[in-house]
Amino acid sequence: LFSVCCLMVCLSILRDSHDMAYRDELTALPSRRALNQKLLSLGRHYTIAMLDIDHFKKFNDSHGHDVGDQVLQMVAAKMAKLKGGGTAYRYGGEEFTVVYAGKQPEQVEEHLQQLRETIQDYRMLVRAEPRPATKPKTKKKPLAKPKALSVTISIGLAARTEKHKTPEQVIKAADKALYRAK
């Protein structure tokens, strides 16, 4: 029984260590380290999309880092539901990457466009005051009406070609396409 308990503790520690190394803590998406691992196993046909939250620094400065974190979490949650066979990764800051193994750009453009529209149409409610944990017993002034915010993303897409043979070259091409899209 003691050995089984020790084994369970060791497996738990191992799993937590793996999650810390390969999963982004804020967004729960696979991290850049997981992306780098995936890039090593790609075949000859793949497409990579780079995504960036538009004007994120200004948004963060205007509404605070807590709201900025909520925006990152919302975008990541929408990306986690992305259709078309892509895997989403947090690249860093407000940038994300989607890897489509075995796909060409024309096979994934519609899915990425739907993601862009879903994020653009989503309204986040930001309250001026936090919601009370329990209902107040005394009647106080009503809470301020929440402010609705929305964000947009830009997307750049590139595929492995004769010109872009390595995953790093494809990422750079997708990044250039991203900045053209902005």
Catalytic site residues?
Answer: 94
Number of Cβ atoms within 10 Å of the Cβ of 145:
9
- The DSSP annotation for 109-120 comes to HHHHHHHHHHHH
- Strand pairing report for 153-159 and 147-149: unpaired
Contact residues for 58 (Cβ-Cβ < 8 A; gap 6+): none
Number of Cβ atoms within 10 Å of the Cβ of 49:
27
Is residue 178 within 8 A of residue 51, CB to CB? The reply is: yes
- The DSSP annotation for 80-96 comes to HT--SS-EEEEEETTEE
- Strand pairing report for 87-92 and 147-149: unpaired
Lookup result for tokens 């810390």: 20
